[in-house]
């Protein structure tokens, strides 16, 4: 088992290298010149030349890439071209925020989506099934920012139950932190719950008609055991796949939701960086997100092996 | 033209009346379509006694599997609907019991083995877990005791290296092994009735013989009543005490195995035996039954075999034939039964 995991980790390395190449390369292809932003209105050629020299922008591609990669490996993502703040500092500030939001949102999505999918599958073709599907469809189609604003209006403004915006670090005041994040993670979670519900439903439908479910019932097992143990266990693969992918996506930040609830997360950081052509910041954040994605894929692989014994003993 | 009287209630007695039957099915009809004119299974009656084996024989689609699933309570309803009939299991009518009470019987007093050993075990759990689970469901035992019992069951069904197999996953076992595990699982709570739906069809011939021998032996040891569903007449000859021949949802002939094989009375049964190749010199071509089973909506009003029967006349097409007893539990549902006398009288 450890051997299989080690192999998956090893396979992830080339992907990682490719990601760094793309992250670095795309920056170079993008139109626009960050120095124009930095140098301001005057655009003194001498200043421009000095800046070019300082940021080694005239070096050949591979030299720039290797220099950058070497720095990245030591944790140095460079400084923001705009503010001069080290990118690693920026990431260290925003990552916990985004991580907390992502974890809470995915938990929310799973708590809503998976049970709803199971119930819809078991009650296939009934009113419950149609209702669950209708709710899921609205969950997918309602824009996050709209739901966010409506929730703020009702829950925060009218009922005064939860704070409307802001961010409190988990380490400072855990309860207040959870309270502030509750609404944004709910907004993000419901949209994802819809996808999870649909996939859970179809996976369960496929499993529920299989022979071993009939065997489980022939043993006299009660519906609860048949569904939650024998069926769900075998329907888990697509659910795990989707959950990890959705979580990876959440790590990239949720621009609109962060904007609505004024959360200082990755989403805002990256959008600001792109608009100001802050190369170093974009590179750092994108790289972080990509690594997060690859890591989540690794987690999914390990979970597959835990769920499916057939993967544990490759013939 | 002399013909014995049909039984009043139209049932067929297929067991010796000495011991009370474990299961007695009377006038069982089942449909999958509400309001359909013809039922998928129509007025089926049979019974099976402790220690005895009843073979239900018929071609695929004749309703034999559906009947067994209905007895186990494993048919999804809707769409399946029991139209009429009773199934007395140890004196209690299965069809009148609440679902929870039936779940308490399943895998406990009545158990079932299925046709597909490759897909009938849950791929996510070990063999030991799956056997122990059934034991723990119906008996008040600890996890350890259930595991020990599961090991005993694996030994009993003669699985080599049972300690090792206990923690094996189904995909690590061969088809024959898996079917042994299924048998172990079904017998774990010493059921009074075992329903085996084509338990050997999916297996190699040599494995088939082993599994059949095992089932026979276990039955001799435990006195379990068994309903064996098969289309394999070789299997029937080997294990059956009684036989019920089904055609298109009806039992056309039933009785002790010797009577069915030695003196078949229904044209369908006669045709069925004619279609089995035997060793030695064959005289002419292998017999076949002409035509195919009619679809349910084209089923004749009278005898369902009439469209394919060489003897059929207009009455056969229009009127349901009576069940004619010949003594010793042997009976056939045919207007021409007993067939020899009728044919002689005609000539």
Residue pLDDT, tens place only, A190-210: 989 999 999 999 999 999 999
B123 interface with A at CB cutoff 8 Å: yes
- Contact between A218 and B112 using a beta-carbon 8 Å cutoff: yes
Q: Which candidate in B120, B178, B194 is best for mutational testing of the A interface (most A CBs within 10 A)? A: B120
> How far, in Å, CA of A7 to CA of A302, rounded?
11
Q: What is the pLDDT of residues A81-103, one digit of tens each?
A: 788 899 999 989 888 999 999 99
- Contact between A215 and B182 using a beta-carbon 8 Å cutoff: yes
In which band, very low, low, confident or very high, does the pLDDT at A315 lie, cut at 50, 70 and 90?
very low
Residue B2: predicted pLDDT: 40
Among A211, A234, A309, beta carbon nearest to B169: A309
List of chain B residues whose C-beta atoms are within 8 Å of the C-beta of residue A233: 122, 124-125
Residues of chain B with pLDDT under 50: 1-17
- Nearest Cα neighbor of B58 from B307, B309, B299, B250 is B250
Q: What is the mean pLDDT of residues A50-59?
A: 77
Count the Cβ atoms, other than its own, within 10 Å of residue A74: 8
Measure CA of the first residue to CA of the last residue in chain A; give whole Å.
14
B121 interface with A at CB cutoff 8 Å: yes
The pair of three-digit structure tokens given for residue A130, joined into one six-digit string: 């149609």
Q: Report B:182-211 residues touching A (Cβ under 8 A).
A: 182, 185-186
B89 interface with A at CB cutoff 8 Å: no
List of chain A residues whose C-beta atoms are within 8 Å of the C-beta of residue B182: 215
B112 interface with A at CB cutoff 8 Å: yes
Residue B132: predicted pLDDT: 94
Among A210, A220, A230, beta carbon nearest to B138: A220
SS (H, E, C) chain B: CCCCCCCCCCCCCCCCCCCCCCEEEEEEEEECCCCCCCCCEEEEEEEECCCCEEEEECCCCCCHHHHHHHHHCCCCCCCCEEEEEEEEECCEEHHHCCHHHHHHHECCCEEEECCCCCCCCCCCCCHHHHHHHHHHHHCCCCHHHHHHHHHHHHHHCCCCCHHHHHCCCHHHCCHHHHHHHHHHHHHCCCCCEEEEECCCCCCCHHHHHHHHHHHHHHHHHHCCEEEEEECCHHHHHHHCCEEEEEECCEEEEEEEHHHHHHCCCCHHHHHHHHCCCCCCCCCCCCCCCCCCCCCHHHCCCCCCCHHHCCCCCHHHHHCCCCEEEEECCEEEECCCCCHHHHHHHHC
Q: Flag whether A239 is in a domain.
A: yes
Q: How far apart are the CA of A312 and the nearest CA of chain B, in angstroms? A: 10
Q: How far apart are the CA of B209 and the nearest CA of chain A, in angstroms? A: 23
Query: Is B303 in contact with B317 (CB distance < 8 Å)?
Result: yes
Distances (CA, A) of B63 to A224, B106, B248, B251, B332: 30, 21, 7, 10, 18
Q: Flag whether A88 is in a domain.
A: no
CA–chain centroid gap for A276, Å, is: 24
- Provide the whole-model pTM: 0.81
Q: What domain count does chain A have?
A: 1
Q: Is A157 exposed, middle or buried (0-12, 13-18, 19+ CB in 10 A)?
A: exposed
Which residues have a Cβ under 8 Å from the Cβ of A298 and sit 6 or more positions away? A8, A9, A12
- Nearest Cα neighbor of A101 from A253, A230, A309 is A253
> How far, in Å, CA of B50 to CA of B221, rounded?
12
List of chain A residues whose C-beta atoms are within 8 Å of the C-beta of residue B124: 230, 233-234, 307-309
Q: What is the pLDDT of residues A266-281, one digit of tens each?
A: 888 888 888 888 878 8
- Contact between B114 and A310 using a beta-carbon 8 Å cutoff: no
Q: Flag whether A296 is in a domain.
A: no
> How far, in Å, CA of B19 to CA of A308, rounded?
49
| Cis ω for the linkage preceding B17 (within 30 of 0) | no
- Contact between A212 and B123 using a beta-carbon 8 Å cutoff: yes
Region of poorest pLDDT, from A25-34, A234-243, B6-15, B156-165: B6-15
- Contact between A218 and B169 using a beta-carbon 8 Å cutoff: no
- How many contacts does A have with B, using Cβ atoms within 8 A? 77
B125 interface with A at CB cutoff 8 Å: yes
Q: How far apart are the CA of A136 and the nearest CA of chain B, in angstroms? A: 27
Q: Flag whether A217 is in a domain.
A: yes
Among A211, A220, A225, beta carbon nearest to B106: A220
For the cut 90, the answer to whether the pLDDT of residue A30 exceeds it is no
- Contact between B182 and A211 using a beta-carbon 8 Å cutoff: no
Instruction: Kindly report the CATH number assigned to the domain that includes residue A209.
Output: 1.10.3720.10
Query: Is A79 in contact with A85 (CB distance < 8 Å)?
Result: yes
Residue B14: predicted pLDDT: 46
| Domain boundaries of chain B, sorted by first residue | 123-188
Please give the residue of chain A at the shortest CA–CA distance from B75: A214
Q: Flag whether A34 is in a domain.
A: no
Residue B285: predicted pLDDT: 60
- Contact between A210 and B114 using a beta-carbon 8 Å cutoff: no
Please give the residue of chain A at the shortest CA–CA distance from B171: A310
> How far, in Å, CA of A263 to CA of A101, rounded?
9
- Contact between A310 and B171 using a beta-carbon 8 Å cutoff: yes
B162 interface with A at CB cutoff 8 Å: no
The pair of three-digit structure tokens given for residue B270, joined into one six-digit string: 């006669």
- Contact between A212 and B121 using a beta-carbon 8 Å cutoff: yes
The pair of three-digit structure tokens given for residue B282, joined into one six-digit string: 């064959």
Q: Flag whether A242 is in a domain.
A: yes
Which residues have a Cβ under 8 Å from the Cβ of A21 and sit 6 or more positions away? A65
Q: What is the largest CA-CA distance in chain A?
A: 85
Q: Flag whether A249 is in a domain.
A: yes
Q: Flag whether A284 is in a domain.
A: no
Q: How far apart are the CA of A127 and the nearest CA of chain B, in angstroms? A: 16
Q: How far apart are the CA of B342 and the nearest CA of chain A, in angstroms? A: 46
- Contact between A219 and B137 using a beta-carbon 8 Å cutoff: yes
- Nearest Cα neighbor of A23 from A69, A63, A57 is A69
B178 interface with A at CB cutoff 8 Å: no
- Contact between B121 and A215 using a beta-carbon 8 Å cutoff: yes
> How far, in Å, CA of B188 to CA of B194, rounded?
11
Which residues have a Cβ under 8 Å from the Cβ of A176 and sit 6 or more positions away? A163, A168
């Amino acid at each position: 088992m450890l051997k299989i995991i080690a192999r998956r980790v090893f396979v992830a390395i080339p992907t990682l290298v490719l990601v760094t190449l793309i992250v670095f390369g795309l920056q170079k292809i993008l139109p626009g010149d960050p120095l124009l932003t930095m140098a301001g209105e005057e655009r003194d050629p001498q200043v421009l030349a000095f800046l070019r020299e300082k940021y080694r922008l005239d070096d050949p591609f591979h030299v720039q890439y290797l220099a950058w990669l070497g720095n990245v490996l030591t944790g140095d993502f460079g400084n923001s071209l705009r503010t001069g703040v080290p990118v690693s500092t920026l990431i260290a500030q925003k990552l916990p925020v985004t991580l907390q939001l992502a974890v809470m949102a995915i938990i929310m999505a799973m708590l809503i989506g998976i049970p709803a999918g199971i119930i819809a599958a078991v009650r296939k073709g009934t009113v419950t099934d149609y209702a669950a599907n209708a709710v899921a469809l609205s969950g997918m189609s309602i824009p996050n920012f709209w739901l966010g604003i409506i929730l703020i209006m009702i829950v925060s403004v009218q009922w005064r139950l939860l704070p409307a915006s802001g961010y409190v670090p988990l380490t400072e005041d855990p309860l207040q932190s959870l309270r502030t994040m509750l609404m944004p993670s709910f907004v993000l979670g419901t949209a994802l719950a819809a996808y999870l519900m649909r996939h859970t439903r179809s996976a369960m439908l496929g499993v529920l008609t299989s022979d071993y479910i009939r065997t489980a019932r022939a043993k006299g097992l009660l519906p609860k055991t048949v569904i939650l143990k024998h069926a769900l266990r075998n329907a888990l693969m697509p659910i795990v796949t989707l959950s990890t992918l959705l979580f990876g996506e959440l790590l990239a930040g949720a621009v609109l939701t962060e904007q609505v609830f004024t959360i200082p997360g990755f989403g805002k950081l990256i959008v600001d960086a792109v608009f100001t052509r802050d190369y170093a910041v974009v590179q750092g954040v994108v790289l972080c997100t990509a690594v997060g994605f690859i890591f989540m894929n690794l987690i999914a692989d390990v979970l597959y092996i835990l769920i499916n014994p057939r993967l544990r003993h490759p013939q | 033209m002399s013909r014995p009287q049909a039984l009043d209630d139209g049932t067929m007695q297929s067991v010796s009346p000495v011991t009370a039957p474990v299961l007695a099915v009377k006038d069982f009809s089942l449909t999958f379509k509400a309001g359909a004119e013809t039922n998928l299974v129509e007025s089926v009656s049979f019974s099976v006694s402790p220690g005895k084996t009843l073979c239900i024989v018929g071609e695929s689609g004749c309703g034999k599997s559906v009947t067994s699933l209905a007895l186990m309570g494993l048919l999804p309803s809707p769409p399946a609907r029991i139209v009429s009939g009773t199934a007395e299991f140890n004196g209690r009518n299965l069809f009148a019991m609440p679902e929870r009470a039936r779940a308490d019987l399943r895998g406990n007093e009545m158990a079932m083995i299925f046709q597909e050993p490759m897909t009938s075990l849950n791929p996510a759990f070990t063999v030991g877990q799956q056997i122990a689970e059934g034991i723990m469901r119906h008996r008040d035992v600890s996890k350890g005791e259930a595991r020990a019992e599961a090991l005993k069951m694996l030994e009993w069904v003669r699985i080599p290296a049972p300690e090792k197999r206990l923690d094996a996953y189904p995909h690590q076992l061969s088809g024959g092994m898996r079917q042994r595990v299924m048998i172990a699982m079904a017998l774990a709570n010493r059921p009074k009735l075992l329903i085996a739906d084509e338990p050997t069809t999916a297996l190699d011939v040599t494995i088939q013989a082993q599994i059949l021998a095992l089932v026979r032996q276990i039955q001799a040891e435990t006195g379990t009543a068994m309903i064996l569903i098969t289309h394999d007449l070789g299997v029937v000859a080997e294990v059956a005490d009684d036989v019920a021949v089904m055609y298109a949802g009806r039992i056309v002939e039933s009785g002790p195995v010797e009577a069915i094989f030695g003196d078949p009375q229904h044209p369908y049964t006669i045709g069925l035996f004619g279609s089995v190749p035997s060793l030695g010199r064959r005289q002419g071509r292998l017999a076949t039954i002409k035509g195919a089973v009619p679809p349910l909506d084209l089923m004749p009003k009278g005898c369902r075999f009439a469209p394919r029967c060489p003897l059929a006349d207009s009455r056969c097409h229009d009127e349901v034939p009576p069940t004619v007893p010949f003594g010793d539990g042997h009976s056939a549902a045919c207007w021409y039964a007993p067939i020899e006398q009728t044919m002689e009288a005609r000539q």
